[in-house]
Structure formats: structure tokens, C-alpha cells
Amino acid sequence: MVKMIAGNLEASKLKFCLVVSRFNEMISKGLVGGAEDCLKRHGVKDENVTIVWVPGAFEMPLIAQKLAKNYDAVICLGAVVRGGTPHFEYVASEAAKGIAQVSLQTGVPVIFGVLTTDSLEQALERSGVKSNKGFAAAQAAIEMANLGKEI
């Protein structure tokens, strides 16, 4: 018989930290709203959610690393929007690599809720106007936190 394991979405006893980029702050605030909505709807208590603001997505990995041990999952939220220079590539790729590395090093799920878009319009669409990547990131955090305990 096949054994199947999937993380459940029960979150009333879990603790989360949101690491949020102040760069493109309006987008970030939309993502935070989506993440908070998701956590609340899955039973997470207000006192079990901490929000830490960082200057930009590039700074997320270090702060996530310092925080990880105190939480069931860390959710990184922000937006890297393509400009006319290669800066976008460096910031987006270091944020993605760093976040993955922190997750593997600490064993704590660190979720990549960072939009990487070609325009501000695309980022707006994905931070509440049409959909909300923050909500999806929080849901992934709950699932991964529970999956880590179940395996």
C-alpha cells in the first residue's frame, strides 16, 4: 500500500515571522495583508505572528537566518521589479538563493513570497488587485511547518 504524507493546514498552535521588504512598500503592504488574512483564517493567533521590516529583498536572508530558530516558519514578502539596469537580476537572484540556503541550513521552512515582475503593474496585480502572493506564501508556510513535523 502506498503511504502518502501531505502537510495539513491546521495552524492554531504555530508561530510565524514575516520578513518584509520596505522597497516597493505599497506592494509589500498588499502581500502582508494577504498573508495575515491567510494565517488568521487558518487559526493562527495574533500573538504568534511577528512582522520584521528590512530595507530590501537583498537583506532578507540574513534576517531570516537570525529569526528562523524561534518560529515554525518564516515568510519572506516583497517585490523585485525589473528596471532598466541589471540590478534586478542581482537582487532577485541573491534573495532567492539566500532564502533557499537559510531554509536548508536551519531546517526551518523559509518561504519565498517575493514577486519578481517586469512591471509595477504586474506586481500590483499579484499583491491584491487580482491575486495575492502573500496569501499563497502563508499557506505554503503552514503546509511546510506541518509537513516538517509529520515526516
Query: Given the complex with ligand INI, which of 44 and 79 has the nearer CB atom?
Result: 79
- Is 16 a known ligand-binding residue? no
In this structure, what DSSP letter does residue 117 have? E
In this structure, what DSSP letter does residue 10 have? -
Catalytic residues: 87
Q: Does 115 bind ligand INI (CB under 6 A)?
A: no
The one segment of 3-11, 33-41, 84-92, 131-139 that binds ligand INI by CB under 6 A: 84-92
Give the whole-angstrom CA distance, residue 36 versus residue 77.
12
Which of 33, 37, 53, 56 touches ligand INI by CB under 6 A?
Answer: 56
Q: Does 112 bind ligand INI (CB under 6 A)?
A: no
User: Cβ-count burial of 130 within 10 angstroms (0-12 exposed, 13-18 middle, 19+ buried)?
Assistant: exposed
From residue 8 to residue 47, the character string flagging contacts with ligand INI as x (rule: CB under 6 A) and all else as - is -------------x-xx-----------------------
List of E strands, 4-134: 16-21, 49-54, 73-81, 110-117
Closest CA to 77 of 131, 3, 137, 130: 137
Q: Which residues bind ligand INI (CB under 6 A)?
A: 21, 23-24, 55-59, 78-81, 83, 87-88, 91
